[in-house]
Amino acid sequence: MAEGREHIDRNSRRNLSVASRTHVGLRRQENQDYYVVRGNLLGGTLLVVADGMGGHKGGKEASQIAADTFVNVLERSEEISESALGKGMIAANSAVVERAEEDPLLAGMGTTLVAVFLQGESGQLINLGDSRAYRYRAGRLEQITRDHAVVAEMVARGELTPEEGANHPRRNVLSQAIGMKELPRPDYFPLTCELGDILLLCSDGLSGMVEDQDIEKILGTTWSLEAKGDSLIEAALDGGGRDNVTLILAEITEKNVGEEASGPPTNPGSRGESSGEEEKKKGFGAGGLILIGALAIGGTLWGSYQVGWIGGGTVRPDTLSQFGLDTNLLDSTWLEIDTTILQPTPGDGDAVGSQNSKFKSENSEGAISVGE
């Protein structure tokens, strides 16, 4: 069972509990989503999910480049604002376009990106593409973001019914995504957070496989946040698992009396692989460019594996090569528990999956965790 993390804000009456999960799905050969959980960023926590598109190689690169560039821009910002988030999106788009122009094999690659910055009782959300953000509050699930997809926009305008949209042949064609040469026009949403709220960021491997009412039922259980994440992954697989599935859950919880802020939380980063032949196609509507959806993750992986290391608050998937743990990174406060390796021969430097393992530390300078 993978660990969740509790992010404690010294200046707020609330804590933020985070659980992040991913699965390659039942039809894919690799994960090309990418996600990041970045704690202690200007007093808040940044959550990012990106769903890469663009062939066997391009989707993985696009999602990682976009998410890393986006996070790096915000790390250099004096404050997190609508302007800063927008600049992050523009920089991410430029980085993906430039990389695609450098390598003909990457032509046409792109990615979605949804991100939220949470600080105390407020939040700021931005998205581009069809990766979604939901809020569960008082027993009701609300989709906050709007899909930047041709058919979804036709449904929103009343040109198609939801039922017609669900079966439309162009339902996976995106109207906007990172990787288009046109300047991106992301949506921005200021948020007010209440005690008990659960925010869900996810790729369409979840939202496309599981009905909103079923997501609502799972989030409404009394299970732990980690168990809810696991159940959502299982529901997506039960629904067909035709795509990679990535999600981040963030719950606003009560701060205990006298509780102080912790050190940087673990921001695991990893990629997953699975077997499968069927691929879902996405495309940019304007250019008619067909892109392949997939998954490469920068975050905790649930039900398969998670690995991460914090150095200055930033985690990258290749920090630890195939779980070849460098003991120089560890100190006397580290606790190592015996591991069971599930995927001993990963490709392309991907992290090895582990199902019964955990590395943890109380060291405020860094932390590493491998989910069981």
Domain boundaries of the chain, sorted by first residue: 5-321
> Which alpha helices (DSSP H) does 169-211 contain, by range?
204-207
Tens-digit pLDDT profile for residues 165-198: 888 888 888 999 999 988 999 999 999 999 999 9
Structural contact between residues 109 and 206, judged by C-beta atoms closer than 8 angstroms = no
What is d(CA 116, CA 70) in angstroms, rounded to the nearest whole number? 12
Tens-digit pLDDT profile for residues 57-114: 799 999 999 999 999 999 999 999 999 999 999 999 999 999 999 999 999 999 999 9
Tens-digit pLDDT profile for residues 329-350: 333 333 332 333 333 333 333 3
CATH architecture of 5-321: 4-Layer Sandwich (3.60)
> Which alpha helices (DSSP H) does the chain contain, by range?
55-75, 82-102, 150-156, 162-166, 204-207, 212-219, 225-238
Q: Which two tokens stand for residue 126?
A: 């931005």
Model pTM score: 0.72
What is d(CA 372, CA 359) in angstroms, rounded to the nearest whole number? 10
